[in-house]
Amino acid sequence: MKNKRLVTNNKVNIKNKRARFDYALIDQFTAGIVLTGTEIKSIRAGKASLVDTFCYINKGEVWVKNMYIAQYENGSYNNHVERRDRKLLLNRKEIRKIQSVLKAPGFSLIPTSLFINGSGLAKLDIYTARGKKEFDKRETLKEKEDRREMARSFKKSY
């Protein structure tokens, strides 16, 4: 009898809702994260946040900075630091592509969602993005309000 890893249907999907509002997202990459044991347990419990998080490249490696992962409540003296820099796992080809985009002024590398994949591994969706100007943000709010109005009118008609 083979040992099969049981995959739980724990729907962990932590999002950075502010990213789509503040940035025009361009290219998506899915990266693995180097974590300690207590960090992955906290993520599986849903106790993480991507607020004010960004990525940077240092010596050919991609790092995520300021990602909050709460300390594991049953952790011992081995518990992790909540806001430490964590290494992201990407191919060299992907890293070179990201570097070429980030050379242009105004571009950033922004994490948008943290999730657990089917194999039980933590993954981070990151985007190369360009910051929006104030009028772009107003336009986004107007489109959102228009969609709400249309949904309300359809709902009333049925």
Tell me what the mean pLDDT of segment 105-114 comes to.
93
pLDDT tens digits for range 121-158: 999 999 999 988 887 788 888 888 888 988 888 887 76
Give 4's pLDDT tier (boundaries 50, 70, 90).
very low
Whole-structure pTM value: 0.78
State residue 127 phi and psi, 5-degree precision.
-130, 145
Q: What CATH number was assigned to the domain covering residues 13-132?
A: 2.40.280.10
Give 10's pLDDT tier (boundaries 50, 70, 90).
low
What is the residue extent of each domain of the chain?
13-132
Q: Is residue 8 scored above 50 in pLDDT?
A: no
Q: Is 49 helix (H, G, I), strand (E, B) or coil?
A: strand
pLDDT tens digits for range 32-91: 999 988 999 999 999 999 999 999 999 999 999 999 999 988 888 888 888 999 999 999
Q: In degrees to the nearest 10, what's the CA dihedral of 52, 99, 127, 7? A: -100
Q: Is residue 5 scored above 50 in pLDDT?
A: no
* pLDDT at 29 (0 to 100): 95
Dist CA 40 CA 47 (whole Å): 10
DSSP of 52-120: T-EEEEETTEEEEES-EEPPPTT--TTPPPTT--EEEE--HHHHHHHHHHHTSTTEEEEEEEEEE-TTS
